[in-house]
Amino acid sequence: MTRIVINCIAAIVLTIIGTMAIGAHAQTKPVSALPEAPSLAEKVEILTKARTAIDVPLNEPRAIDLSLLNVPGIERTLTDGVTAKGYTRYVDVNSKKIGQVVLVGVEKNGRQEALNSTDFTAQFDMTKPQLDPAADVLVKGDRAQLRAALEKLAAAKQEEKKEEPAKATQQAAAPQSNSGQRQNDLAGNYQTPSAVSVAPAPEESVRVSSDGCPIRVDLAQLRAVQQNKSITSKGGTVQSETECSDSSKGFPLLRSYSVCSDQIDLDARKSQAQFKLYYVDEGGATKEVTDCTPDADKIFPIVEKYDSCTVSLDYVGKLATPRATLVYMDASNREVQVRGCEASEAKPAVQLVATTNGCSIRHDFANSKSFQQGTHHYTLEGVTYQAGACADNGTEYPQTKVYTDAGGAYICQPVIDQNASTVALQSRLRITVGSLSQFITDCTPDTSTLAVQSTTDGCTDPSLWQHDMAAARSYGQERFFFLDNGSRKYLGQCQNSQSVYVHKVQITGYQNHDGQLYSYAQTTVYIEPASGRFDIKVSEVLPGAVQLPYELQGTSTVPTGTSTYQGCDALRETNKVEQWKRSDNTIYNKVIGAGTPAGPVDVCVTTLIDNRRLTTGYYYQLFHTVGDSNQQDYWYQRMWVTGLIQKHQLKNTETGQIVGNTCSFDSGGWYSGNGGIMDSQVLNWHWTNIGPPGPPVQQMFLPPCPY
């Protein structure tokens, strides 16, 4: 959204107004009051046209003559031969040329009548800065005012015909202009005065203006002070100006932390907030007055944070090293990371110890061997952690089939077939771990001496089997029988067989630990016996599961959804984040501090809240010179502006704060005079000795919101 802030016009310099001047030696007219606000009048479209191609300047008005072709509701007898006097310029708006024309009077046969320029205006698009004589210019104007001026021209023409002899005599005595310009309508009636009339003494006035005065920043008082000056004028001419000095008006200096980054000192392990001083002027604009400055009251310690880092495991050096990031809490109580995971300075490395605790022995019956499994662990702050899953540690145990104990007694009761008068011995498999022996199977009949058979009948339910999760093995079951007169005689219950099923795994998801930047796989463990797949564990994190670290993809900034405000400017707060890819390929944005705010974004709206018609101060401007090259008379005309002043309110739409009020003329600030000379002044200067006087160019000013 683009906002055009209508700033208070501190100064409007009027351009030359095409009004009539009083003759060089005419009797001085008394100063009349400034014009009243015009009443509402009927506006019509006045058809005019340039007589020749006229180049139109940018911004600065240029005097022009236009043919007055047609005025709705006014007879042609009044408009024939009449020239419309005016000014033109163009302005550039969004790369488009907008032409503007104002009429300030009408002329016929050397006679002029003034028009109020604010009542006769035209505005139109232009492809090039030129008035084409083939193109019509439609001016919206006050028909009644124009009719009155045209009727005065017509009446003056009739009066001129009646007084022709006197006019000729007077013209012979009238001074001629050396500038080639026509004389005004009163110059034609020139008579040598019998006495010189003394003009009233010019009035002296003093006004206060901030135009051209800076705003002084007082850092000690935390205030931006508006300066102004006193301007003394006499008869509209500036006599003197004081130096700019402080006024009672000012704006408080405020602190903005969001536009500055914190100052980081890793060696000293501290962070210091920084701010800029700014103020919001009357028009709602933010003005920064200092660079980023450290705040002595906002110093934050930088500390280690451990929970976002994993422990570094060195299996060769047998060390477990704690790691930590460096962080601090900023002025907004947000955690800011200033360094990634590295070896901790506060927590030393600890020993990585090999252990068989929590691990089992893996049996390989086909090769008559068993294998010890083991892992590592470390202890931090009294808590023991396992480092990795169980795996063969290189220790092997041979398997031995045993029938009797050391004393020669059978370890299992022999199986006797009384019908066949046979006996079958039973045995068990044994391994020796250290100095201790342990059996790894149940009693198994020796089928070589007795017709004993094995079967899985009644033993095929995997839920009843032994599942060794540490060894990643499951053991099938069987039972034994012999036939007695064709019937099975079972020798016991189901027991572990030497059928081993290696565990299979399927990763079904991940358990993410964003704070520590790693994941655990969620695993389903299953076997596939003859009866079909059997799930032992479903979507669980297994003991000793390996930590799967996230992968750093880069850094970026993301909006927080909050804003800070400086007048009309909204700064959208952001967080600086590290983008980590999880094991499931999703992205985790880890906040590591405050990012650079986005903006500023203009969030104000301007609402018209009042209209008033006001008149500015006035000044005299050099209008015309007459006389020879040795002595010239200088004619001056009095200038002022009367216009509709619009007062606008500037409001922050997100906070509801009234930021300020602005005032401007409704036309945007380009004005001619409003018709008629209120006073004149005759000065005689010798060109060769002194040169022409420089006319005072007193600015016509609009104080900021004068009501």
pLDDT in tens, 135-191: 889 999 998 998 998 888 888 766 655 554 433 333 333 333 343 443 344 333 333
The most confident of 309-313, 346-350, 594-598, 621-625, by mean pLDDT: 346-350
Q: Which tokens is 80 given?
A: 């024939």
Residue 259 pLDDT: 85
**For residue 319, what is the DSSP state?**
E
**Distance in angstroms (rounded) separating the CA atoms of residues 66 and 112:** 14
Report yes or no: 215 and 184 within 8 Å, Cβ to Cβ. no
Residue 168 pLDDT: 33
Identify the helix (H) or strand (E) that includes residue 77. helix 76-79
Residue 161 pLDDT: 54
Report the candidate in 430, 380, 364 with the shortest Cα–Cα distance to residue 401: 430
Instruction: Say whether pLDDT at 1 is over 90.
Output: no
Residues 6+ apart with CB under 8 A from 413: 426, 443
Residue 342 pLDDT: 92
Each residue's pLDDT tens digit, 53-76: 888 988 888 889 998 888 888 888
**Distance in angstroms (rounded) separating the CA atoms of residues 638 and 17:** 10
Residue 282 pLDDT: 78
Instruction: Say whether pLDDT at 647 is over 60.
Output: yes
**Using omega within 30 degrees of 0 as the cis cutoff, is the peptide bond preceding 193 cis?**
no
Could you tell me which residues are beta bridge partners of residue 383?
A: 380
DSSP helix/strand/coil, 453: strand
Q: Which tokens is 510 given?
A: 């991940």
- Apex 241 CA angle, 235 and 242, nearest 5: 145
Residue 670 pLDDT: 33
Kindly state the percentage of the chain with pLDDT values over 90.
Answer: 33
Q: Which tokens is 565 given?
A: 């405000």
Residue 196 pLDDT: 36
Report the candidate in 361, 354, 219 with the shortest Cα–Cα distance to residue 289: 219
Q: Which tokens is 404 given?
A: 């009797």
Report yes or no: 323 and 349 within 8 Å, Cβ to Cβ. no
> In degrees to the nearest 10, what's the CA dihedral of 15, 18, 19, 25?
100
**Distance in angstroms (rounded) separating the CA atoms of residues 260 and 219:** 19
Residue 695 pLDDT: 40
Could you tell me which residues are beta bridge partners of residue 67?
A: 49, 83
Residue 174 pLDDT: 32
Instruction: Say whether pLDDT at 397 is over 90.
Output: yes
DSSP helix/strand/coil, 289: coil
Instruction: Say whether pLDDT at 279 is over 80.
Output: yes
Residue 162 pLDDT: 53
**226-235, 584-593, 628-637 — which is least confidently predicted?**
628-637
pTM, two decimals, is 0.46
Kindly state the percentage of the chain with pLDDT values over 70.
Answer: 75
**Distance in angstroms (rounded) separating the CA atoms of residues 633 and 624:** 8
In terms of pLDDT, which residue wins out, 355 or 699? 355
Domain boundaries, the chain: 42-162
Instruction: Say whether pLDDT at 545 is over 80.
Output: yes
Query: % helix / strand / coil in the chain, to the nearest 5?
Result: 5, 55, 40
Residues of 218-256 as b/e, b for ≥16 C-beta within 10 angstroms?
eeeeeebbbbbbebebebbeeeeeeebeeeeebbebeeb
Report the candidate in 608, 547, 5 with the shortest Cα–Cα distance to residue 311: 547
Each residue's pLDDT tens digit, 572-608: 999 989 999 999 999 999 988 888 888 889 999 989 8
Q: How many Cβ atoms from other residues are within 10 Å of residue 553's Cβ?
A: 12
- Apex 106 CA angle, 100 and 111, nearest 5: 150
Residues 6+ apart with CB under 8 A from 135: 49, 50
Residue 676 pLDDT: 32
525 confidence band (pLDDT: 50, 70, 90)? very high
Each residue's pLDDT tens digit, 606-620: 898 888 776 655 454
- Please state, rounded to an integer, the average pLDDT across all residues of the chain: 77
Instruction: Say whether pLDDT at 347 is over 70.
Output: yes
**Distance in angstroms (rounded) separating the CA atoms of residues 356 and 288:** 68
687 confidence band (pLDDT: 50, 70, 90)? very low
**For residue 599, what is the DSSP state?**
E
Residues 6+ apart with CB under 8 A from 618: 34, 236, 638, 639, 640, 678, 700
Residue 707 pLDDT: 62
Each residue's pLDDT tens digit, 652-682: 999 998 888 877 766 544 333 333 322 333 3
The most confident of 116-120, 527-531, 631-635, by mean pLDDT: 527-531
Residue 599 pLDDT: 86
Cα–chain center distance at 488: 88
Tell me the residue ranges of DSSP E strands in 528-641. 534-540, 548-549, 551-566, 569-581, 587-594, 598-602, 604-615, 619-627, 631-639
298 confidence band (pLDDT: 50, 70, 90)? very high
Residue 204 pLDDT: 66
**Distance in angstroms (rounded) separating the CA atoms of residues 241 and 92:** 34
Each residue's pLDDT tens digit, 87-143: 898 888 777 888 999 998 998 887 888 888 888 899 888 988 999 888 889 999 998
Could you tell me which residues are beta bridge partners of residue 438?
A: 431
In terms of pLDDT, which residue wins out, 215 or 633? 215
- What is the average pLDDT across 474-498? 86
Provide the residue count of the chain. 707
- What is the average pLDDT across 445-468? 85
Each residue's pLDDT tens digit, 15-40: 323 332 222 222 333 333 333 333 44
Report yes or no: 337 and 368 within 8 Å, Cβ to Cβ. no
The most confident of 173-177, 350-354, 637-641, by mean pLDDT: 350-354
**Distance in angstroms (rounded) separating the CA atoms of residues 195 and 387:** 120
Residue 134 pLDDT: 84
Residue 159 pLDDT: 61
In terms of pLDDT, which residue wins out, 525 or 190? 525
Residue 302 pLDDT: 95
DSSP helix/strand/coil, 598: strand
